[in-house]
Amino acid sequence: MASRLLQTLKTTSPTCRLLSHLSTATAAVAAKESYEDADGISMKGVKISGRPLYLDVQATSPVDPRVLDAMLPYYLSSFGNPHSRTHLYGWESELAVEKARAQVAALINASPKEIVFTSGATESNNISVKGVMHFYKDKKRHVITTQTEHKCVLDSCRHLQQEGFEVTYLPVGSDGIVDIDQIRSAIRPDTGLVSVMAVNNEIGVIQPIEEIGKMCKELGVPFHTDAAQALGKIPIDVEKMNVSLMSLSGHKIYGPKGVGALYMRRRPRIRVEPQMNGGGQERGIRSGTVPTPLVVGMGAACELAMKEMEYDDERITALQKRLLNGINAKLDGVVVNGSRERRYAGNLNLSFAYVEGESLLMGLKEVAVSSGSACTSASLEPSYVLRALGVDEDMAHTSIRFGIGRFTTDAEIDRAVELTVQQVEKLREMSPLYEMVKEGIDIKSIQWAQH
């Protein structure tokens, strides 16, 4: 009410504008509230005319209508608890959960008995890292992981370090790929786990999972991979990859948020200490009522992903090419972060030289993209992943991650190219650094005066 009043005050006569100047306190409060009217929406001080086009698929993906269709009955009449053994509601719910389990297993060539449903990939990562090490804590005290892992893996490792375990954080090359020989030389007799993510969420590089898996099998070390970004996008086969544990996420493959799964190998058996104690559901690994609608959604999403993987991949590769060519045709000083060859097509992380990242993002309000990953964007530091790649601080600050997905259209890519080029050119025009570069001065040789 108050904000609407203030809004009409602001847009009417000059005398009213005077009034609004007097009540600066209320104006400040009203500016923070978001309002929506016929020709736009204002939120957090930004006014946009329409819903932005979505190019942030790595943060989350829209729920596919076919997935929603599979889920809805379980929010309506079939609302039973799958662990209720005595009536139809429980039986039909349990049937749905087991069907979903088989769908998830089929996508990764596993047995349904090896799938445990969790609340998401973060929980699966926690169970894998902490659960495995706690179970084998008498004999195994060492974990190997990389510097570009997801925050939940790195934080779990830090927690283990506080408990007295040792962790080796392996560096990655400038292309983002980890060196297998470095893993091999880091493995010790008391190494309990090697954890390397399959597809990186920030830069999209694909790690050599098959080679690492083969080596870990030879050396008898359990291998965990976080496949949240890889599931349904690149072919995954737990037998070929020789993984012992794999974390899967529902909302990255056009499924619902709040559900994920953990693959746990049965032959040879890997054991974990449960992180959620309770009634012993999910074979004691993860107690708690299995959320039937969410699990059904994840299963449907996995089945869809299996059918659509080839079609989606072809389209997304073509769209990525279109995006990159479009930007490179009009701009110079554009760097692709991460390996060009070993990358998932739907993730394009670009750095624009001589442009500041936050201002670029604020100018791109009609495009929903991100810089750095959603989990770490609260801080002002440049992304730790880009730092691990050895990217210069100034280039790391200007990185933008374009995410292309199943529902992205050609027109959206063209529009994104247009808006990005426009914004970068505008910012570069204002940049004195860019002027100097154009005159031929080498930025790195400048002696900046201290104030």
Partner 1 sequence: MASTPSKSQILSLFRSLLRTARDFSDYNIREYTKRRTIDGFRHNRHVSDPSSIAAAYSDAESQLQIARRQVIVYSLYVPKLKSVMEIKHA
| Active site amino acids | 375
Residue number with CB closer to partner 1 (25 or 411): 411
The answer to whether residues 364 and 56 touch, using CB atoms and an 8 Å cutoff, is: no
CB of 327 to partner 1, least distance (A): 19
Work out the number of other CB atoms within 10 angstroms of the CB of residue 365: 15
**Residues of the shown chain interacting with partner 1 in the complex, contacts defined by CB under 8 A:** 36, 40-41, 48-54, 62, 65-66, 68-69, 72, 311, 366, 406-409, 411-412, 415
Query: How far apart are alpha carbons 238 and 226 in whole angstroms?
Result: 12
* Residues paired with residue 195 on neighbouring β-strands, in sequence order: 145, 224
Beta strands in 73-163, from DSSP E residues, in sequence order: 115-118, 142-146
The answer to whether residues 189 and 164 touch, using CB atoms and an 8 Å cutoff, is: no
Any residues with CB less than 8 A from the CB of 407 and at least 6 apart, and which? 54, 62
CB of 35 to partner 1, least distance (A): 11
CB of 121 to partner 1, least distance (A): 24
Query: How far apart are alpha carbons 240 and 98 in whole angstroms?
Result: 25
The answer to whether residues 318 and 242 touch, using CB atoms and an 8 Å cutoff, is: no
- How is residue 279 annotated by DSSP? S
CB of 51 to partner 1, least distance (A): 5
The answer to whether residues 108 and 238 touch, using CB atoms and an 8 Å cutoff, is: yes
Query: How far apart are alpha carbons 262 and 249 in whole angstroms?
Result: 9
CB of 316 to partner 1, least distance (A): 13
Side-chain half-sphere CA neighbours of 335 within 13 A: 19
Query: How far apart are alpha carbons 183 and 188 in whole angstroms?
Result: 10
Residue number with CB closer to partner 1 (356 or 366): 366
Residue number with CB closer to partner 1 (21 or 51): 51
Residue number with CB closer to partner 1 (218 or 314): 314
Query: How far apart are alpha carbons 226 and 215 in whole angstroms?
Result: 18
The answer to whether residues 242 and 217 touch, using CB atoms and an 8 Å cutoff, is: yes
Among the listed residues 228, 223, 220, the one whose alpha carbon sits nearest the alpha carbon of residue 244 = 223
Residue number with CB closer to partner 1 (35 or 169): 35
CB of 36 to partner 1, least distance (A): 6
Residue number with CB closer to partner 1 (254 or 352): 254
